[in-house]
Chain A
């Protein structure tokens, strides 16, 4: 069976999502490790997540597709960028979020944002899909990308610790 990060990479390629901007986290690193092996991808490290909302907007404006990889905390850093740029300007923007502060969390300071994650996405009307099992990765990522480019809006894919594993300490 193909590993789940590879399945995500294959879907990104199928949708011609060439640019990946990221702030690292353990979940996103699984995807980046697979992407670095493939010359198709152009990978940009960000200092702060909201920059990625701007960068992907710019790429889309000239006809190229990008996605953002960020930790849960980064969604907090990006709220106004989604609300005042990607959403009103209708920019398709797949966002892969490593879901900290939930199942198996060891760090109490991650939990409030982990609990706020889904309500924040819902309050912004950002569709979100959770990846928990390897066999559902293909259909959910395929569907999320399809929706993002049809709706021309940000769409979030939450990578759970059930799928990616959690930090012991």
Chain B
């Protein structure tokens, strides 16, 4: 089983100015703990929409790798977005899902992946070209490096522990928006 904070730290150690979109919950808490930077866009709500935001970024910035950090519960709420992502199949998109098989923040209620659902198979069926399912840190690192250096789209489902992350990113949505846009070289309206 993978420690999601350790795996997030591996990602943070490899990016330079690549944008990272993080879902609500432990995905964004761990990203913050791994190193806050303006190129991190944290969703404080809008459960499930991290991959949709990432798709928009990837469409509008085709020359740059775009990383989405998601959770199993969040993605299960917006599974249709995998099919929409496959319609466009952005070569620069890396979608990582930390699958702890539960809604950890609300008390550990099981998600569908605790029963029969396999998210990498769902993504493959939706039409995402490169889908990996990993259960160890080594396998995760190998899959991420491949995704980072080769054309995608990539979908990596990582079986993780369910430790509550103490990370708390800045809360102001407009601050997060403005600093992200500025880091992407975008002038204010």
Q: Among B1-9, B78-86, B129-137, which stretch is in contact with chain A?
A: B78-86
CB pair B185–A63 under 8 Å, yes or no, is yes
Residues facing A in B54-89 (CB within 8 A) are 54-61, 78, 80-81, 83-84, 87-88
Partner of A85, one of B46, B83, B87: B46
Chain B, 42-56, contact with A by CB distance < 8 Å: what is the 0/1 string?
011110111111111
CB pair B84–A44 under 8 Å, yes or no, is yes
- Name B's A-contacting residues (CB within 8 A): 19, 21, 41, 43-46, 48-61, 78, 80-81, 83-84, 87-88, 173-174, 176-177, 180-181, 184-187, 189
Best-surrounded residue of A57, A62, A88, A149 (most CB of chain B within 10 A): A62
Partner of B55, one of A58, A63, A64: A58
Tell me if A90 is interfacial: C-beta within 8 Å of chain B. yes
Partner of A61, one of B87, B88, B180, B187: B180
With A and B bound together, what is the CA distance between A76 and B87 in angstroms?
Answer: 24
Residue of A nearest to B58 (CB): A58
Residue of A nearest to B51 (CB): A54
CB pair A61–B49 under 8 Å, yes or no, is no
Supposing A45-B87, A51-B84, A81-B46 touch, asked if A58 and B173 sit within 8 A by C-beta, the answer is no
CB pair A51–B49 under 8 Å, yes or no, is yes
With A and B bound together, what is the CA distance between A85 and B173 in angstroms?
Answer: 9
Smallest CB–CB gap between B166 and chain A, Å? 23
CB pair B46–A84 under 8 Å, yes or no, is yes
5 smallest beta-carbon distances between A and B, as pairs: A58-B56, A54-B52, A84-B45, A47-B80, A63-B186
With A and B bound together, what is the CA distance between A55 and B173 in angstroms?
Answer: 17
Residue of A nearest to B184 (CB): A62
CB pair A61–B174 under 8 Å, yes or no, is no
CB pair A92–B189 under 8 Å, yes or no, is yes
With A and B bound together, what is the CA distance between A38 and B32 in angstroms?
Answer: 42
Supposing A51-B78, A81-B46, A84-B46 touch, asked if A61 and B53 sit within 8 A by C-beta, the answer is yes
Supposing A53-B49, A149-B189 touch, asked if A59 and B84 sit within 8 A by C-beta, the answer is no
CB pair A81–B49 under 8 Å, yes or no, is yes
CB pair B57–A62 under 8 Å, yes or no, is yes
With A and B bound together, what is the CA distance between A121 and B97 in angstroms?
Answer: 33
Q: List 7 A-B contacts (CB under 8 A).
A: A48-B78, A56-B56, A81-B46, A84-B44, A88-B45, A89-B177, A91-B177
CB pair B53–A54 under 8 Å, yes or no, is yes
CB pair A55–B52 under 8 Å, yes or no, is yes
Residue of A nearest to B45 (CB): A84
Contacts of A50 in B (CB 8 A): 48-49, 52, 78
Residue of A nearest to B46 (CB): A85
Partner of A63, one of B41, B48, B177, B184: B184
Residue of A nearest to B181 (CB): A61
